[in-house]
Amino acid sequence: MSNVVHVSTTEFQGAVLDSKEPVLVDFWAEWCGPCKMIAPALDELADAYQGRAKIVKVNVDEQRDLAIKYHVRSIPYLVVFKGGEKVGEQVGAVGKAQLAGLLDKALA
């Protein structure tokens, strides 16, 4: 089972902004090919960083208000939050190493 958590607007505050660990949020959609390409890497990172950081997915089609609030213009859009603040971001599909680098920066 994956450690990646899917969150809605109502869960976002508690799961992301109030989190004690850094959180990598993947803004994605079912129809997005690049989103599907990076999903296995996110699953692996969720396992590798368990207890140190979290991976959360937000479906932009279902959670439009969050997509608007965080100015999601293209997906996948990955944002790292730490202490409720945005500390890193990546637009587009990238490799697992680059995604890990975003988390490592937030953990440093």
Of 15, 16, 24, 35, which is the active-site residue? 35
Residue 32: active-site member: yes
Distance of alpha carbon 31 from its chain centroid, rounded?
17
E strands, the chain, in order: 5-6, 23-28, 54-59, 77-82, 85-91
Of 32, 78, 99, 102, which is the active-site residue? 32
Spatial neighbors of 100 by CB under 8 A, at least 6 apart, are: 45, 48
Alpha-carbon gap, residue 49 to 75, rounded angstroms: 23
Q: What 3-state class would DSSP assign to 85?
A: strand
Residue 26: active-site member: no
Residues acting as catalytic residues: 32, 35
